[in-house]
Structure 1
Amino acid sequence: MRPRFLLAALAGALLSAAPAAAETRAVLVGVSHFSDPRLAAFALPGAARDVERMAGALATLGVDRAALTMLTGDGATLAAIRAALDRLAAASAAGDRAVIFLSGHGTQAPARTADLIEPDGKDELFLAADAGAWDPRSRTVPGALVDDEIGRRIGELRARGVDVWMVIDSCTGGGLLRGSGTPKAIPPARLGIPAGAPLRGAVDPSGFVDGGLAGGGRLVAFAAAGPGAIAWDDGDGGAFTTALARAIAPDRPASFAALAAGISGSPRRGGTIGAFWTAGDLSAPLLFDGRSPDMVDFARALPPLPFATTLAIDRAGACKADGGNRPRSDGGGDLTLLLHCDHVRVDMAEPPQPLRIEAWYRDAAGGYTSLAPPLGLVVAPGRWANVGFTFVTRDPGTGRELPKGEETLVLIARDTDGKAIGARLLRFRAA
C-alpha cells in the first residue's frame, strides 16, 4: 500500500473482494459524562444514545449485536476503550471488517516537537470518561485518546488486511460558535491545555486518523467535523449520528459515497447536515461488501475535461524542512516524477457550465482515496477549484517504506444531472 498524501487525504487500500466468511466487528463508544467533577458541566447524555443509534444502523446492515462492544457511561474509560480495541484487533483477520465509532467531546493540544504528522502543530484528542486536566510534566491530558494512537491502531488493522470504517461524532477543537444545541467540545483552556504557538497557514485535514495511512485493508473515515471545527448535540444525540442512521435505513445505500451524499441531505432539528469530513475509499460498497469500481478504466472511456487544468509542484511541503520551491508546469498528462514531500496542486479553470468534479487518487497498490467532498468539488463560470496532496515515499506515522509503482490522480466531471461528461488522468511515480 502506498498512500501519497499527508495533508489532503488518507490512503485507500487493496481492492480484493472480501472472502465469503468475512466477519464484521465493532467497538462503539459514547462518552456521556466524566468522573472528574470539574467536567460535570460537560455531560453529554446524547453520546450514549448515539451508540444505540449506531448499533441499530449496523443491525440494519446485518451486523450481529453479539459482535458489538458498546462502552457508555462510567464504562467508557480510556483503559476500557484500549482493551476493546485490542480485542477487536486480536479477533480480526484478513478480509474481516472493523467498525470503530466514537461519540463525545473532542479537543486539541500542542503536538510533540517536530511532529511532522501535525502541520498545524496540534494533536486531536478524544476525551474518555476518566479524562482530566492537562499534565504539564508529561504534556498530556489523562484519559484522552490521541489521534496518533487511533491512527496507529487503524494502520495495524489494515496491515493485516482488515477493512476499517471509522466514524467520529465529536468536535476536534474547542470554541464558542453560534448554533443550536451543544457543541461537542471542551475548550482546551478548561482543561489547562496551553495554547502553543500557531503555525501560520498550516492545515491538517487528517484529523483523528493520523498515521493510519498504510495497510492492505480498505479505509473509510467519516467525522462530524474536521480538525478545529464543531459538531453538535441537540440533547437527544449527535446531529451527525442521527443523520447517519437515517441515511442507512430503510434503504441501504450502495456505497460509502452514496451514504455520504445521503447524510448531506438528511434533515436534523434546526437545519440540515452540510459539510462534514470524509476520507478513504468512498467508492467501496457499503461495509466493504464487494469490490470497489476501477475509476481509471471508467475515466479512460470518457472524453477530455471541458476545461483546462494546471499542475504545479512545490517541494516546500509541511513534512520536509529543507528544500526550496520547485514549481513545475503541467506536463500534458505524461508521467511526472515526484520526490518525498513534494506538494502537488491541480488548479481547474472555469468551465462553460456548472459541474461537479470527483477527484480520486489511485495508489501503487490499486487503492482509491477520494480527494473531494462527498458531493464533489463545484466548478462553475466565475468559480474555480483546486485539489492538492503531499506525495510521500514512506508512511509518516511509522516510517515504513511504501510500495513503488505508478499512481494516478483521476478527475471526473459530472453535469447537473450527475452524468459523467469528461475526465483527466494525471500519472505520477517516485523519482
Structure 2
Amino acid sequence: MMREMVTIFRLALLLALPVAMTQPIERADARVRAVLVGASDFAEPELRRFSLPGAARDAERMADALRPFEISAGDMTVLTGRAATADAIRAALDALARRSTRGDRAIIFLSGHGTQAPVSTDDGLEPDGLDEWFLASDAGRWDTRSQSLPGGLKDDEIGLRVRAMRADGVDVWIMIDSCTGGGLFRGSRATPKSIDASILGIVLPPPNRGAIDTSGFVDAGLAGGGRLVAFAAAAPGQIAWDYGDGGRFTTALAAALTDRPSSFAALAARSGPVAIPWTAGDLSAPFLFDGQSPDLLGLIRGLPPLPFATRLSIDDAGACKKRSSGSDRRSPDASTTITLGHCDHVRVDFGEPVTPLRLEAWYRDASGSYASLSPPAGLLVVPGRWANVGFTFVTHDPVSGSPLPRGEEVLILLVRDGSGAAIAGDLMRFQAK
C-alpha cells in the first residue's frame, strides 16, 4: 500500500507501491550503477543569469564520494554544464534501466534548479495542483499549448522511470539537490536553487491552502520488487541552497559518505536533519542495499510496551483526496487489527514521557517492504509536548488504478536508548476493507 507520511519534522510520500509479493534478491555479483547530473548552465540567453556552477561541483563531488564503493568508471555517468540536456538525462536513465537486472543497485543524483507548474491532468498525487520540474541545461519558456516545459523533466516522468527499474527488481537510491518551488531570502549569501515560475512564463494558480503536495520528484506510483530510498534537499515548495562551490545538501551528504555508513538511516543521520530535511523509503536498508533489510517485526518481539500513551485516530483527510470535510474522525481500538478504506488518513499521537526519548516509526506493507515515518535519528518525544506521525492508506495506485497487494500491514513503534539498543516497542495492525 502507498502511504503519505507526516511527522512534526517533515512531510514525505512513501514511494513504495509493490505490485507483486516479492522480496529483494541478493546477488554476489550485483552491480552498482549511477547517473549523476549537475545542470549548471543554460543555453537559453534569458536563463544564463541563473547559471549555477555549484551544481556541476555537486555532481563531481558525489562522483568522488561514490568511487570508493567500487563503482567502476564504466558504470558511472556524469552530466554537467551544457551536456546536461533533458534528452541526455533521459538517455542516461534509460541506459541505466536497460543495463540493470534484478538484484542490481541504481543511483540517481540530480542537482540544479527546480520550479513548479500547474498539473496538466487530474492527478490524485498532487493535491495542491502543482507538478515539480527539474530544469536541464536546455530549459526554455513554458509551452502553453502542450502545458509542458521544454528542457524540463517533470516529477511524474522521473518517477515512472524509477518505477520501471523497481518493477524489474532493481534497488534505487535517488538524491535531488534542487528547489521544488521558489522564493528569495533577503540578505542571504547563498543562491536558492530555483527559478521563479513567472520567469519561465508559467502562470501559477492561487495557493490552495490546506492542500500540501508531499510528492516530490518521484511520485508516480513507484512499484516492484526493488527497494527505494529517496533523499532531497527540499520538500516541494521549499528552498535548497547553493553556496557557490555546491549545495549544502550535497556537501553534507558527500562528507558523511566517507564514514562508510552501515545503513541509509545512519547516512541521513550523519548528514544532519537540516542538510537532508526530506527522506522517504526503506531507510533501514543496509547502505547501497548491500544485504537484506532488518527484520523489525522480529526485533520488537519480547520488548516491553512504550513508556507513554499512544492515541490513534482515522479521518477522511487523506493526501489523495481533493477535499476533506474533516469529518468521520474515529478512534478505533489499537489493540485489534484495524480495517481501513482507500485514502483513509491515520494519525498516531504520542503522549509525554517522563524523560526525552527517541522513537522510530516504521511501516511494513503487505509485500514485506519497510518505510520510515520518522526522521532518520528518530522522532523526539519529550515531556510537555505531544508528537505524532501519520499516513494515507490506499488500496490501489492513485496514478494507474492498479490494485495493491492485500494482507496484514503493521506500524512498528520502537524506542532505543542512547547506545542504540531497543528498549520498548509496540505494534499496530491494519488491513484493507
- Please classify the TM superposition score into its range, dividing by the shorter chain length: over 0.9
Instruction: Give the conservation status (yes or no) of the 8 Å contact 1:105–1:185.
Output: yes
Instruction: Give the conservation status (yes or no) of the 8 Å contact 1:11–1:367.
Output: no
Displacement of 1:383 in angstroms is 1.5
Displacement of 1:94 in angstroms is 0.7
2:249 to 240, 244, 249: 240
Residue equivalent to 1:258: 266
Tell me the distance in 2 between the aligned counterparts of 1:308 and 1:163.
37
Q: Which amino acid aligns with 1:354?
A: P
Residue by residue, what CA displacement relative to the aligned partner does 1:327-355 show, whole Å, maximum 9, x if unpaired?
22141321001111111111111111111
Residue by residue, what CA displacement relative to the aligned partner does 1:280-323 show, whole Å, maximum 9, x if unpaired?
00000000000110111112231111111111111342323588
User: Does 1:216 find its partner at 2:229?
Assistant: no
Displacement of 1:9 in angstroms is 2.9
Tell me the distance in 1 between the aligned counterparts of 2:231 and 2:239.
14
Residue by residue, what CA displacement relative to the aligned partner does 1:214-235 show, whole Å, maximum 9, x if unpaired?
2110000011111111111111
Q: Which range is displaced more, 27-36 or 389-398?
A: 389-398
Tell me the distance in 2 between the aligned counterparts of 1:377 and 1:274.
17
Task: Provide the alpha-carbon RMSD of the alignment.
Answer: 1.8
Tell me the distance in 2 between the aligned counterparts of 1:22 and 1:116.
36
3-state DSSP of counterpart to 2:331: coil
Instruction: Give the conservation status (yes or no) of the 8 Å contact 2:171–2:228.
Output: yes
1:416–1:202 CA distance, 2 compared to 1 (3 A): farther
Q: Could you tell me the percent identity over the aligned residues?
A: 61
Q: Which amino acid aligns with 1:3?
A: M
2:397 to 378, 395, 398: 395
3-state DSSP of counterpart to 2:399: coil
Count of equivalent residues: 422
Residue equivalent to 2:67: 59
Displacement of 1:239 in angstroms is 1.5
Superposed counterparts of 1:21-420, under 5 Å: 21-178=29-186, 179-249=188-258, 251-264=259-272, 273-274=274-275, 276-320=277-321, 325-420=327-422
Residue by residue, what CA displacement relative to the aligned partner does 1:44-82 show, whole Å, maximum 9, x if unpaired?
111111111111111121111210111111111111111
1:125–1:356 CA distance, 2 compared to 1 (3 A): same
Instruction: Give the conservation status (yes or no) of the 8 Å contact 2:373–2:389.
Output: yes
Instruction: Give the conservation status (yes or no) of the 8 Å contact 1:6–1:392.
Output: no
| Stretches of structure 1 lacking an aligned partner (at least 5 in a row) | 266-272
Displacement of 1:131 in angstroms is 0.5
Tell me the distance in 1 between the aligned counterparts of 2:142 and 2:63.
33
| Stretches of structure 2 lacking an aligned partner (at least 5 in a row) | 7-11
Tell me the distance in 1 between the aligned counterparts of 2:212 and 2:256.
30
3-state DSSP of counterpart to 2:390: strand
Instruction: Give the conservation status (yes or no) of the 8 Å contact 1:3–1:213.
Output: no
1:316–1:48 CA distance, 2 compared to 1 (3 A): closer
Residue equivalent to 2:9: none
Tell me the distance in 2 between the aligned counterparts of 1:372 and 1:112.
32
3-state DSSP of counterpart to 1:85: helix
Tell me the distance in 1 between the aligned counterparts of 2:337 and 2:215.
27
Instruction: Give the conservation status (yes or no) of the 8 Å contact 1:360–1:370.
Output: yes
Instruction: Give the conservation status (yes or no) of the 8 Å contact 1:4–1:393.
Output: no
Displacement of 1:398 in angstroms is 2.3
Tell me the distance in 2 between the aligned counterparts of 1:317 and 1:205.
11
Tell me the distance in 2 between the aligned counterparts of 1:11 and 1:242.
25
3-state DSSP of counterpart to 1:151: helix
Q: Which amino acid aligns with 1:422?
A: A
1:373–1:77 CA distance, 2 compared to 1 (3 A): same
Tell me the distance in 2 between the aligned counterparts of 1:364 and 1:21.
29
Q: Which range is displaced more, 291-300 or 11-20?
A: 11-20
Q: Which amino acid aligns with 1:155?
A: R
Instruction: Give the conservation status (yes or no) of the 8 Å contact 2:268–2:276.
Output: no
Tell me the distance in 2 between the aligned counterparts of 1:171 and 1:216.
30
Q: Which amino acid aligns with 1:320?
A: K
1:168–1:274 CA distance, 2 compared to 1 (3 A): closer
